Amino acid sequence: MIKNIIFDLGNVLISFRPSEYFKKKNYPENLITKILADIFSSKEWLMLDNGEINTSEAIDAIASKSSLKREEIAHIFKLRTELMFPLDLNAKLLPGLKKQGFRLYYLSNFPIDIFEEIKNGYFFFKYFDGGIISSEVKFSKPDKRIYEILLKNYSLKPEECLYIDDIEINVTVAEEIGMKGLATFGSQEIFQDVKKALSELGEV
């Protein structure tokens, strides 16, 4: 019986699509490619998620090897909250799930500084019973240890959890440790996916 539903945040409840953002802002294609490669695909970006470095250290490290100027990189980092916005249709799932008696949690790869701003600014966090971000515990998905920390911290049984993520490998790991999984593959609207998954599990 599913009692707990665990959500990834990026592209499940929060849109995070840098390429689309920069295209809408009319950045040149070659500059977009450079930004995506040097910043968002950098090892420093992953280290931020892991809580291994802070934002200033990440900017310095990226600047030391990128053709982008340090001030340009710093500007992109300041845009992070602009790059994100709530996926309202998906977030509207939360109050309904709470009314049905499910306990709700988040499990996401996120730098600590930007997460605090997001958490305080987005209405839907009030529906969560708890959660973990990677930079708090120094492990990032798909490392199974971050899932195990969530289960331990909130005394959750994996077989009673449905885990939802837009990245298939993250769902696969959740399933390997005993959870039910739902991969949304970056869909902007997951209402029907979640409803179908719960129906198939006999929960609705």
Convert 183-203 to b/e letters by CB count within 10 Å (16 or more is b). Answer: bbeeeeebeebbeebbeeeeb
Q: Is 12 exposed, middle or buried (0-12, 13-18, 19+ CB in 10 A)?
A: buried
Give which of 151, 153, 199, 196 is closest to 177, Cα–Cα: 151
Residue 192 has pLDDT above 80, yes or no: no
Give which of 165, 196, 191 is closest to 88, Cα–Cα: 191
Q: Please give the Cα distance from 129 to 37 (Å, whole number).
A: 36
Q: Please give the Cα distance from 116 to 61 (Å, whole number).
A: 23
Please, how many CA atoms are within 13 Å of residue 177, restricted to the half-sphere of its CB?
22
pTM: 0.93
Band (41; pLDDT cuts 50, 70, 90): very high
Residue 186 has pLDDT above 70, yes or no: no
What residue spans define the domains of the chain? 4-15+85-200, 16-83
Residue 174 has pLDDT above 90, yes or no: yes
Q: Please give the Cα distance from 161 to 159 (Å, whole number).
A: 6
Token pair in block for residue 183? 């991969």
3 state DSSP class of 42:
coil
Q: Please give the Cα distance from 66 to 204 (Å, whole number).
A: 51
Give the distance from CA 28 to its chain's centroid. Answer: 27
**What is the sign, positive or negative, of the torsion defined by CA atoms of 74, 72, 137, 14?**
positive
Task: Among 1.20.120.1770, 3.40.50.1000, 2.60.40.730, 3.40.50.300, name the CATH number for the domain at 4-15+85-200.
Answer: 3.40.50.1000
Residue 204 has pLDDT above 90, yes or no: no
Interval 98-117 mean pLDDT:
94
Band (94; pLDDT cuts 50, 70, 90): very high
